[in-house]
Amino acid sequence: MSRAGLVALILMTASVAHADLEDDLGLGPEAAALGGAVTAVPVGFASLHYAPALLAYRGMRPGGAELQIGYVFGSPVLHVTGLDGAPINTARIAETSSVVIGARFDLAHELGLEGLVGAIAISTPVSSMFSYTVRPDDDVQWMTLTDGSSHLSIEAGLAYRPVEWLSFGIAARLALAVELFTSAVVTHVDTYVDATTGDNIIDVGTRIGARGAVSARVSPIASVAVMPIPELRIGVTYRGASYVDDWGWSRVQGVPGLGDIGYVHRFAHWVRPHEVSIGAAVRPIPALELSADLTWEHWAEATTGNFDAAPGRFGDIFVPAVGVRVTVIAGLDVLAGYRFVRAPFSNFGGPSNLLINDTHHASLGLAAALDTLTGQADLPFTLRGSFRLSILDEAREEKDFRRFRNDASWTGNPGYPGYVFGGVVPSVQISAEARW
């Protein structure tokens, strides 16, 4: 099979990406295997997201370029069980199956500036460039694991290392915002009684028109890396909030007795909030590298998909992560990582039923540089694979009458009287990288 045919096959089998790839599953198997503790660890093109300064890391191969093609598969196994023991149905929880393509290239020769490196990455749901679903906040639904924000993600950036021990990097993450305007002109209004059900029916005839537009929304990423000695790196990364608006209006014109009526809708599809990561990596012996990260995530400013700020229910979190890389033999690395993400949202017994758990991410991975491993310089390829198990701590939600205006809305809530929810999300990634 030709290389083009292989790529086409992979693209055909890929479906919609669901959870946020970069942060929930990891962008590329190397970052995934290290638990995302890569603010101070160069991970090829994937450093675009975690630490763009490390696109130009100390000790990099000058004049080189890399192209990596990868595949991600995740299959959530989740449950929501009512307090009476009966399962509660939620919106379909689909598997994540996505393709990631990334490239990193030294621009020193092309632009005449030593230490300048560029990179680009695309992770894409293939069936559609983006797909946003918004349900009422009181629908029992997984907050990040369904199709609330399956989307194309494009990142591109530059890094510059003016001196051996210091580099800077910037990147941009692209998302797509939506505007939709619907107009309808009333042609007739009739009322009648349904012969079968006896219900009063209002039959409104309209002539409908619609106008839509998709626009880009860019969020910035910036980082600094300090590498005082080859065995020690320290990094700081800022990632701007990544979310898109979905807004517009629906208007019905010429309603008898009313004139024009309608409403403006505004939804928000949150991918990530503002984040700041600090990290350090040390190599105490040549065969061992240890890394640790701490990320502050500013979820307090987020909204639900229905643009509800949900006061008190979102909160900032700190995310610790650690990673270890062991070089077993020259050219073969074993990687492992752990990451703990506290739930940034709680329903607190109120009307909303958005499900998100405290989550432990444990991961393992392998990286094999074929040229080093085999001693054949004409095999400049690296194969990587990772397995990550995300364990969702079981959480309990109990509806509190004090958060409802009356008993009817309390007992009528889809989550009444309460439920427990949790599960696991196993995911695997594989990639092949070619170097020039």
Partner 1 sequence: MVKRSAGLALLVGSLLSCGPSSDGYAFVREEHCPPDCDASTDAGHDAGRSDAGPPDVPDEPLEDWDLTDAGPLTGIYALEVAVLANVVVDLETRQLYRVRMLQHGTSVRVRLQACVIDLASIRGLADLHFTPAAEGAIRRHVIDLEGDYLTAADPIGATFRPPRTFVTIGADLAMPDTDPLPTMADAALALDEDADGNPGVTIDATAVVCPSPEQVFAAFRASIALSGVVSDLEAFDGTVDPSIEQSVLGYTNDCLRVAANLVVTIRPGSAFHAHRVGAAQDLDGNGNISCPEVAWAGASLFGDYWAR
Nearer to partner 1, 243 or 299 (CB): 299
Nearer to partner 1, 79 or 342 (CB): 342
DSSP type of residue 359: E
DSSP type of residue 129: S
Binding segment for partner 1 among 23-31, 173-181, 281-289, 406-414 (CB under 8 A)?
A: 406-414
Q: Which residues in 322-381 contact partner 1 (CB under 8 A)?
A: 342-346, 348, 350
Tokens of 7: 């790529």
* DSSP codes of every residue in 22-54: IIIIISSHHHHHTTT--TTS--GGGHHHH-GGG
Q: How far is the CB of 261 from partner 1 (least distance, A)?
A: 5
Which of 315, 331, 380, 426 forms a contact with partner 1 (CB under 8 A)? 315
Binding mask 169-208 for partner 1 (x = CB under 8 A): --------------------x-x--------x-x------
Which of 254, 262, 331, 414 forms a contact with partner 1 (CB under 8 A)? 262
Task: Tell me whether residue 198 is exposed, middle or buried, using C-beta atoms within 10 angstroms of its C-beta: 0 to 12, 13 to 18, 19 or more.
Answer: exposed
Q: How far is the CB of 408 from partner 1 (least distance, A)?
A: 3
Say how far apart CA 340 and CA 333 lie, in whole Å: 24
Q: How far is the CB of 133 from partner 1 (least distance, A)?
A: 19
Nearer to partner 1, 320 or 426 (CB): 320
- Give backbone dihedrals phi and psi of 166, rounded to 5 degrees, phi first: -140, 135
Which of 3, 4, 263, 286 forms a contact with partner 1 (CB under 8 A)? 263
Please answer whether residues 60 and 431 qualify as being in contact, where contact means their C-beta atoms are separated by less than 8 angstroms. Answer: no
How many beta carbons lie within 10 A of that of residue 386, not counting itself? 28
Say how far apart CA 290 and CA 169 lie, in whole Å: 22
Which of 314, 324, 386, 388 forms a contact with partner 1 (CB under 8 A)? 314
Asked if residue 414 binds partner 1 (CB under 8 A), the reply is no
Distances (CA, A) of 141 to 144, 302, 416, 421: 9, 17, 14, 11
Instruction: Determine how β-strand 200-229 pairs with β-strand 232-239.
Output: antiparallel
Which of 1, 12, 195, 408 forms a contact with partner 1 (CB under 8 A)? 408
Distances (CA, A) of 140 to 79, 158, 364: 12, 42, 33
How many beta carbons lie within 10 A of that of residue 2, not counting itself? 7
Q: Which residues in 284-303 contact partner 1 (CB under 8 A)?
A: 299
Which of 109, 164, 394, 401 forms a contact with partner 1 (CB under 8 A)? 401
Nearer to partner 1, 259 or 286 (CB): 259
Nearer to partner 1, 2 or 406 (CB): 406
How many beta carbons lie within 10 A of that of residue 280, not counting itself? 18
How many beta carbons lie within 10 A of that of residue 134, not counting itself? 18
Which of 111, 213, 258, 288 forms a contact with partner 1 (CB under 8 A)? 258
- Applying CB under 8 A, the site for partner 1 has a residue count of 42
Backbone φ/ψ region at 383: left (φ over 0), alpha (ψ -120 to 50), beta: beta
Q: How far is the CB of 63 from partner 1 (least distance, A)?
A: 43
Nearer to partner 1, 92 or 405 (CB): 405
Q: Which residues in 95-134 contact partner 1 (CB under 8 A)?
A: none
Nearer to partner 1, 315 or 426 (CB): 315
Tokens of 338: 């752990």
Which of 92, 259, 286, 377 forms a contact with partner 1 (CB under 8 A)? 259
User: Which 3 state secondary structure label does DSSP give 112?
Assistant: coil
Binding segment for partner 1 among 42-50, 106-114, 252-260, 276-284 (CB under 8 A)?
A: 252-260
Q: Look at residues 131, 133, 216, 214 and name the one whose alpha carbon lies nearest to residue 173.
A: 216
Nearer to partner 1, 192 or 436 (CB): 192
Q: How far is the CB of 191 from partner 1 (least distance, A)?
A: 5
Peptide bond into 417 cis (omega under 30): yes
Task: Write out the residues near partner 1 by the rule CB under 8 A.
Answer: 189, 191, 200, 202, 255-259, 261-263, 299, 310-318, 320, 342-346, 348, 350, 400-411
